[in-house]
């Protein structure tokens, strides 16, 4: 036996092990499955502060019927994590895919693996589950070796049936092995990392070459119930005795509640300082009462004007400045360049725009809180609820259900706090669903950014210097609006980062970040237009600026945009994706703009290219566009997207996810801009904030470069990064004008065409 086995299979180990690998004491597998909220309601509870990651039973339960339940702290935001993670577990345990059931994001039952963000689930949570499952398989094999009197290395496993290699009649199922016993298995932890950084040791996982489940396009388990109406979303959770709640938000970010009238429709007003809402037995009554309630608020008008937004961002003192990267002396290189260039780029505020407004149900009573949430980060929200309700962490349990797609931190976490506060104030379970104007108005906004790019060419047209200075949000934390209004301000961890590595071989370069506060925060005691990243955190904006400006230099050098990139790329994986994209798009080598770009009427056509690298995932995109010179409307006709994310868990789910991500990002690149006045957001519905529709959606060809020998990196959102610059570069190719502001809407295109004329 290895030392790991000795450590975990001693008698003491059996008795001391914190978690159960096995749950077989008459408890059917279904007892663990959260198909409805009803089974989970209880009286006051104290829950563990942490589900112990080093106990195998925290991850896996094997049932007498030979099925397996896997517990994960991750949630599924609609991209199929549930299926992909189950594939990883089935693979390592040597059970069939159908034998694995996932329980996701329940703070009482699942290990904190970090919030489900940044396309990090298969990249970081995947290896954690893989290791736990490998350890589970090893533990079960050891039991089987004893039971069958066959050495473990002479055993084989298929579909959870362990049998002797030499005598297949000697066999036993996982379920039989564990029946009636409670087995504690401790797993060694590597380092002290938690959440994303949690690292487990133990048995050697399978070699990639032996995979039979991972790498297969297994149909997603959530899809059949989603098309029959059986799927249980957070919006479907109902509790006995539950009230329906609706929030009533202030007209200005800093407005104070001065008074309110009598509620209609038999509703009750709930109020805590500026936190205001209504509750009613019936949902429609709550909605009408919220609409009808006469409320007096003080005026507040501290936001900059929209026209002045980017100047405001650039001129507001930053919270932190950081040189993100520096090679050589960029300042000197640019000063001495034969041909220096400079351009500023901007991006607009955008909304996550979930089709289903955020929803949560809270049951706060007897000093404890059970909260059903559509959050990406159950453990993060757990701490926030505890803070907002002034309760210890052990008194709060978060149970997540799938929500409407969020693409980042939408209103889910905020609605969760709203429900918790309303339940605490009423003493009843409360379901809060935001209305459309709440979601469009108060979901944390994808931030607006400003970029100053400088570049220089030498006399031969080679790049000698590069500088990217960006005013981007600091996002040290995200403020929760309900808690602010209630006077119990809760701040949740956010993503403070710069991610846009310089891909090209440039002798001198610098990237300089000015990390800014939320817009209006200095004018409103630190709480401005609350913002949070929409996929892909910070890089959508940074890559729009850098890959567009790189194209400007290519045009200045008279170079073909693909050749120009290939000339200074060194990373073979990046070269491979770019070459694959150019080939699939039948890229014709010539500099931009196209020969007929400066015609003055009609539809112009162009093609553009861009690349990006995020968290080890390589992307290259070619966009084909049409530009209507009269209306200024840009239509993206076709996109070729090539991605190399190392090992792919589920190729078909990956391609479909990328295809959708591409179309969504085309919408953001061309159309989407939150409008606001001096008081607050004014784009409060789908007319004020249009998104792409069927007739404008481009066709997409997704090409995945398979590298099963390399670790899986982020698969979903990295592909959004090259889209906006590829479109802008294609517009330049088509009409010869450079678009330096996102979204590239008809108004901006027409203005750019006029200016160039």
In the complex, minimum distance from the CB of residue 620 to another protein, in angstroms, rounded to a whole number: 20
Check binding of 718 to another protein (CB under 8 A): no
Report the SS3 class of residue 25: coil
| Contact call for residue 191 and another protein (CB under 8 A) | no
Q: What's the closest the beta carbon of residue 247 comes to another protein, in angstroms?
A: 14
- Total residues contacting another protein by CB under 8 A comes to 59
Residues 257-286 that bind another protein (CB under 8 A): 282-284
Nearer to another protein among residue 238 and residue 707 (C-beta): 238
Report 418-477 residues binding another protein (CB under 8 A).
433, 435-436
35 part of the interface to another protein, by CB under 8 A: no
Q: Is 549 in the site for another protein (CB under 8 A)?
A: no
Closer to another protein by Cβ: residue 467 or 659: 659
Pick between residue 227 and residue 307 the one whose CB is nearest to another protein.
Answer: 227
Q: Which of residues 385-404 bind another protein (CB under 8 A)?
A: 402-404
Query: Counting contacts by CB under 8 A, is residue 646 touching another protein?
Result: no
Distance (Å, whole) CA 719 – CA 701: 12
Distance of closest approach, residue 653 Cβ to another protein, in angstroms: 7
How far is Cα 686 from Cα 697, in angstroms, rounded to an integer? 17
Contact between 231 and another protein per CB under 8 A = yes
Q: Is 355 in the site for another protein (CB under 8 A)?
A: yes
Binding residue (CB under 8 A) for another protein from 214, 388, 692, 735: 692
CA neighbor of 472 nearest in space, from 346, 360, 364, 572: 346
What residues contact residue 756 under an 8 Å CB cut-off, 6+ apart?
736, 737
What is the DSSP-derived secondary structure letter of residue 671?
T
Contact segment (CB under 8 A) with another protein among 12-20, 176-184, 652-660, 728-736 equals 652-660
**Nearest CB to another protein, comparing residues 272 and 623:** 623
> How many Å apart are CA 727 and CA 634, to the nearest integer?
9
Strand partners, 511: 325, 468
Does 238 engage in binding with another protein (CB under 8 A)?
yes
Total length of the chain: 757
Q: Does 694 bind another protein (CB under 8 A)?
A: yes
| Helix (H) / strand (E) containing 37 | none
Question: Which of 220, 496, 514, 607 forms a contact with another protein (CB under 8 A)?
Answer: 220
669 contributes a contact to another protein by CB under 8 A: no
224 lies in the binding site for another protein (CB under 8 A): yes
Nearest to 739 by CA among 747, 731, 757: 731
List the 359-365 sheet strands across, edge first: 268-272, 275-280, 243-248, 430-433, 359-365, 368-373, 396-400
**Cα–Cα distance list, 440 to 189, 553, 739 (Å):** 43, 38, 27
3-state secondary structure of 445: strand
Q: State yes or no: residue 662 binds another protein (CB under 8 A).
A: yes
DSSP characters for 146-208? HHHT--GGGEEEETTEEEESS-TTSEEEHHHHHTT-----B-PBPSS--GGG--B--SPPPPG
- Asked if 683 interacts with another protein (CB under 8 A), we say no
> Taking CB under 8 A as the rule, does residue 687 contact another protein?
yes
- Which pair of structure tokens corresponds to residue 745? 């809407």
Q: What is the Cα 633 distance to its own chain's centre?
A: 30
Q: Is 98 in the site for another protein (CB under 8 A)?
A: no
Hey, which residues between 65 and 94 contact another protein (CB under 8 A)?
Answer: 77-80
Considering only 390, 693, 755, 757, the residue that binds another protein (CB under 8 A) is 693
Concatenating the DSSP letter of every residue in 272-313 gives ETTEEEEEESSHHHHHHHHHH--EEE-----SPPSTTHHHHH
List interacting residues with another protein (CB under 8 A): 77-80, 219-220, 222-224, 226-233, 235-236, 238, 282-284, 287, 353-357, 402-405, 407, 433, 435-436, 652-653, 656-657, 659-664, 667, 685-687, 691-695, 697, 699-700
């Amino acid at each position: 036996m290895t030392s790991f086995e000795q450590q975990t299979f001693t008698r003491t180990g059996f008795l001391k092990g914190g978690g159960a690998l096995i749950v077989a004491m008459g408890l059917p597998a279904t007892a663990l499955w959260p198909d409805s909220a009803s089974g989970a309601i209880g009286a006051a509870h104290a829950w563990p502060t942490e589900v112990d990651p080093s106990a195998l039973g925290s991850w896996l339960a094997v049932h007498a019927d030979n099925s397996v339940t896997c517990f994960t702290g991750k949630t599924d935001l609609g991209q199929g994590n549930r299926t992909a993670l189950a594939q990883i577990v089935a693979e390592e345990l040597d059970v069939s895919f159908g034998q694995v059931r996932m329980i996701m994001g329940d703070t009482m039952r699942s290990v904190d693996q970090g919030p489900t963000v940044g396309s990090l689930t298969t990249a970081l949570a995947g290896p954690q589950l893989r290791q736990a499952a490998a350890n589970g398989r090893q533990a079960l094999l050891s039991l089987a070796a004893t039971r069958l009197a066959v050495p473990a290395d002479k055993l084989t496993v298929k579909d959870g049936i362990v049998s002797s290699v030499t005598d297949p009649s000697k066999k036993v199922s996982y379920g039989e092995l564990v029946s009636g016993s409670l087995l504690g298995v401790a797993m060694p932890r590597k380092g002290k990392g938690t959440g994303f950084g949690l690292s487990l040791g133990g048995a050697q996982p399978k070699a990639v070459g032996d995979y039979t489940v991972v790498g297969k396009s297994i149909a997603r388990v959530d899809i059949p119930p989603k098309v029959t109406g059986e799927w249980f979303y957070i919006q479907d959770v109902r509790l006995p005795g539950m009230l329906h709640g609706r929030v009533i938000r202030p007209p200005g970010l800093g407005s104070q509640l001065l008074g309110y009238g009598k509620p209609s429709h038999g509703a009750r007003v709930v109020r805590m300082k500026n936190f205001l809402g209504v509750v009613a037995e019936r949902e429609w009554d709550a909605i009408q009462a919220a609409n009808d309630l006469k409320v007096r608020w003080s005026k507040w008008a501290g936001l900059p004007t929209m026209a002045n937004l980017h100047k405001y961002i650039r001129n507001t003192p930053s919270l932190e400045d950081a040189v993100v990267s520096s090679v050589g002396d960029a300042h000197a290189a640019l000063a001495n360049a034969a041909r220096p260039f400079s351009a500023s780029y901007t991006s607009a505020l955008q909304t996550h725009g979930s089709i289903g407004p955020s929803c949560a149900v809270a049951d706060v009573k007897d000093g404890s809180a059970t909260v059903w949430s559509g959050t990406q980060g159950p453990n993060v929200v757990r701490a926030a609820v505890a803070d907002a309700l002034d309760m210890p962490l052990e008194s709060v349990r978060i149970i997540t259900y799938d929500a409407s797609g969020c693409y980042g931190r939408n209103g889910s976490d905020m609605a969760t706090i709203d429900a918790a506060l309303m339940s605490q104030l009423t003493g009843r379970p409360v379901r809060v669903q935001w209305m459309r104007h709440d979601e469009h108005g108060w979901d944390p906004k994808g931030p607006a950014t400003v970029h100053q790019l400088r570049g220089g060419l030498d006399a031969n047209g080679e790049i000698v210097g590069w500088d990217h200075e960006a005013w981007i949000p600091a996002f040290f934390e995200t403020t929760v609006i309900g808690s602010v209004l209630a006077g119990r301000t809760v701040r949740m961890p956010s993503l403070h980062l710069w991610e846009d590595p310089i891909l090209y071989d440039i002798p001198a370069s610098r990237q300089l970040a000015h990390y800014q506060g939320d817009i209006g925060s200095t004018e409103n005691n630190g709480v401005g237009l609350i913002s949070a990243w929409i996929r892909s955190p910070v890089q959508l904006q940074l890559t729009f600026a850098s890959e567009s400006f790189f194209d400007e230099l290519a045009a200045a050098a008279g170079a073909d945009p693909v050749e120009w990139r290939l000339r200074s790329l060194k990373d073979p994986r990046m070269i491979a994706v770019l070459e694959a994209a150019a080939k699939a798009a039948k890229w014709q080598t010539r500099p931009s703009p196209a020969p007929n770009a400066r015609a003055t009427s009609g539809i112009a056509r162009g093609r553009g290219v861009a690349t990006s690298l995020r968290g080890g995932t390589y992307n290259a995109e070619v966009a084909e566009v049409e530009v209507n010179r009269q209306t200024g409307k840009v239509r993206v006709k076709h996109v070729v997207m090539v991605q190399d994310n190392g090992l792919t868990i589920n190729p078909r789910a990956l391609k479909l996810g990328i295809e959708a991500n591409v179309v969504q990002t085309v919408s953001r690149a061309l159309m989407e801009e939150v409008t606001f006045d001096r008081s607050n957001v004014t784009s409060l519905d789908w007319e004020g904030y249009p998104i792409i529709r069927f007739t404008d959606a481009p066709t997409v060809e997704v090409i995945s470069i398979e590298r099963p020998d390399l670790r899986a990196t982020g698969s979903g959102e990295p592909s959004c990064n090259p889209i906006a610059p590829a479109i802008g570069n294609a517009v330049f190719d088509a009409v010869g004008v450079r678009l330096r502001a996102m979204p590239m809407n008809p108004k901006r295109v027409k203005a750019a065409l006029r200016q160039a004329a």
